[in-house]
Chains A and B, each alone.
Chain A
């Protein structure tokens, strides 16, 4: 059935049920009702549920030893000791949960802002995925660049660099926006500090980790480093990983990738992670190995 047909049927049903479906019908309502509808405007605002630090929120009523539980909570931002109302969540934790879930969905479904990429001086290329739906349902296409991308990289990137770095949205565009500004220059400066030559960084839209292998082959870099948004969780939607490999080739074993994960402001600080990644790359170049072959 076409969408328009559906719409018509629904409108008809609503009319038959004598519910107001068009704005002009609303005006026919009697005076008493109208008075009731005038909203009362209050000063002030509802506190933002996402501002709550869940380590500091202990909501159990009449606890055996709330003090000790509270101290345990300080070790990790877990949704524990949040009380209950009958068999259900309390309102505040329930709203926080929903907010976190929405942030996670936004992180996956939103795109990275183009202005941001321009500001970071990153040109954008795309994998063989044409949109988010294909990206989510066809991981294999997210591992291959489209033809334009291959040509653009060949044209714009420095050939045979020691290190090639690129950024990808992966499963969290929010991670790119939150971390790249500190992470990317952090790595670049770290490499510069060691005197290591770096290629031209760029951005890959709809990228899976595996596309790094193809990029490595195209640029012929010794070390390839992919900065990619991690699948968001309910604690943070801004976490980023770096996958790094020495002389990566398409079809190589996954075990040859070295990963640094959990890069975000509440995990490993992006700027310090950048310095650390530069160090790993330096060791990788010395030992000519990566992944499980490289002991750090």
Chain B
């Protein structure tokens, strides 16, 4: 019995210690603004790595999710003669939920795991130690540009995802299933509010961006520097950030969309 408590206590303390270390890492990376002359090329490189490189998967997934939503929504709505409401159905579910959440999940799988593996490998090959011995702070040089790149990229990716998905829904709903194009857009416009739906969706996206990038960077930075440790850290990045995104999504939705 006491063993059980001891185990629980050990686990809890371990979790808190990890939280402390990760906060320390993030704080260390962000506390002084990086020098712009040296920082900008690094940031651009990372924006390319995490942003531009994720573009394809985000756009393809967005297109298909939009098309599926339209198809499924249509078959249900047509039963009530309400197929004109397809536009708002698709737009609202994308802007409020699917856009930010699916983008965050895909981002965790595509860019988050890559970040963890890259930093883990840098640690295993002593590149991080070597930077430190060259009197260059790896938090500023390695962690900070990657964090900002993730933080900037993900909301942009979520916007692209939603836009492409709505185009996909239009493709299926209007061009294939014959919903009236005018009512598709106008009812959508009447129902979707910029403030309530788009801005809130973007806030969600920024929160998810921070969570996913933070977890990915921390897992890489704190991993056991062996091949086994890196593979474990990469898996943990995807699992933990996905769960964290879904959990925070519920909290944010509860705060934003219930009055």
Q: Is A bound to B?
A: no
Q: Give residues in A with beta carbon < 8 Å to B.
A: none
